[in-house]
Amino acid sequence: MVGLVGLGGAVGRGGSRVDFHWMGARADGGAMTAHLTAKRAAALSSPTMAGPDISRRVGGLKPSVTVAVAATARAMKAAGEDVIGFTLGEPDFDTPGFIKDAAIEALREGQTKYIATLGDTETRGAIAQKLTEENGIPGLTWEHVAVSAGAKQALFVLMHCLFDQPAPGEPTGQLVMPTPTWVSYEPIAELAGAEVVSLATRAEDGFRISPERLGEAITERTRAIVLCSPSNPCGTMYAEEDLLAIGRVIEGVVERAPGLVVIVDEIYEKLVYGGARHFSLGSIPAIAERVITINGMSKAYAMTGWRAGYCACPGAFGKRLMKAMGTLQGQISTNTTSFIMPAIRAALRDGHDEVEKMRSAFESRSHVLGERLRAIPGLRMGAIEGAIYAFPDVSAHFGKVSPKGARIESSLTFCEAMLREQKLAVIPGEDFGSPGEKHVRLSFACDEQTIDRGTERLAAFVDSLT
């Protein structure tokens, strides 16, 4: 059996039961008691029977709904059900061969030992060169770059270098975060001691925060802002003029928030559509030394499993920050895998044609998916501008009932009922922050035939609601 909490369940053809347990489950298994007898639950909760405790900090973490939905869909498939999934944010292409060859060669050559914690100088230099030439970020050398095990680890280490657990009587440092946005920023920042200030955006603005609202949210307690462009989950992005205006606001608030930095997650920078040009906030000279750029190999080069991400910031602060990140990462994992360093360099140097092939395939899928979704009654969405996601508003169907009696009251109940009744897995938008609760996220990291079959099921589900 898979799953813990009684939000209903599905019985596979093979007779095995797959339960849904996306919301409210906790990392310490706190939700598990919902299925236990009262006696056993009481025994388990007694300190002598329950065994050692998990720390409150980690025990209170909510597991990612994205991963949980994908796991439920996988379990249903394993139980023999014909499930279609639009869940995971990972390119379905294989890593290009020449990138693999660079790693294989390095492995054969014996590059199998510990290396410098933040990556070798050559690779850090190649990343600095990429960010200078392609992104226009000034003043970068290898000393302003850190390589980590994925952009996620870079963010984790970074946030711990920016935030402190407040001392008694000291105000908590704040992270300002326009939403909907990627689910991991909030828990990572909170673990580091930050208080997260969410700013809800609007679908009609392409989920972009206005420079004025961003400026108003910044106080002397604001330590960092995090922007994700192109956006997971929204599939929209900030244009150059939006970022120039945001840059002027940042420049203007520095007196009020002298320690302010902006973290810009550009992991989807290569996946942009409709002839749009990606623009880096870090290329604005007046604020460049306050902008920390996060990026990595996962999405552009189909290298999610390699765990290769990086972080960069120019100037004296950038250098200090990288040193601090090295100290912390040195206590976590030391370097990310040694023999992938030449592969990172090969990808950055020679990957343009392969990236363009994948980008163009994603663009054509974005058109197919967008067209199919807009044809479904009650679904509302704007253009898909970047990343690999469509994020339609399904709230026109709230208040309805499914054929099997599920009351659709939220994005979560919409997704649960659709998975159970149409075997279609998409991600409920609640976890991404407001107004995500009206939306569902569909990844188009799948072939067009899957998009056709999946959207037929989505249309059938919507049609079945009364």
Asked if 175 contacts 339 with a C-beta cutoff of 8 angstroms, the reply is: no
Write down the least CB distance from residue 329 to ligand PLP, Å: 14
* Residue 298 touches ligand PLP, criterion: CB under 6 A: yes
**Which two structure tokens, joined as six digits, stand for 217?**
């949210």
Asked if 353 contacts 362 with a C-beta cutoff of 8 angstroms, the reply is: no
**What letter would DSSP give residue 53?**
P
Asked if 219 contacts 195 with a C-beta cutoff of 8 angstroms, the reply is: no
Near ligand PLP by CB under 6 A: residue from 126, 161, 249, 267: 267
Asked if 211 contacts 248 with a C-beta cutoff of 8 angstroms, the reply is: yes
| Position with the least CB separation from ligand PLP | 150
Backbone angles phi, psi at 145, to 5 degrees: -130, 140
* Residue 266 touches ligand PLP, criterion: CB under 6 A: no
* Residue 130 touches ligand PLP, criterion: CB under 6 A: no
* Residue 304 touches ligand PLP, criterion: CB under 6 A: yes
Write down the least CB distance from residue 150 to ligand PLP, Å: 3
**Which two structure tokens, joined as six digits, stand for 336?**
């990310």
Near ligand PLP by CB under 6 A: residue from 186, 190, 265, 354: 265
SS3 152: helix
Q: Which one of the spans 38-46, 73-81, 150-158, 189-197 is the region binding ligand PLP (CB under 6 A)?
A: 150-158
Nearer to ligand PLP (CB atom), residue 181 or residue 402: 181
- How many chain residues are in contact with ligand PLP, going by CB under 6 A? 13
DSSP of 353-365, one letter per residue? HHHHHHHHHHHHH
Asked if 69 contacts 409 with a C-beta cutoff of 8 angstroms, the reply is: no
Angle at CA of residue 231, ends 225 and 232, nearest 5°:
105
Site string (218-237) toward ligand PLP, x via CB under 6 A: ----------x---x-----
* Residue 146 touches ligand PLP, criterion: CB under 6 A: no
* Residue 89 touches ligand PLP, criterion: CB under 6 A: yes
Nearer to ligand PLP (CB atom), residue 152 or residue 457: 152
Would you say the C-alpha torsion 350, 351, 352, 354 has a positive or negative sign? positive
* Residue 433 touches ligand PLP, criterion: CB under 6 A: no
Contact footprint for ligand PLP (CB under 6 A): 89, 150-152, 182, 228, 232, 265, 267, 296, 298, 304, 309
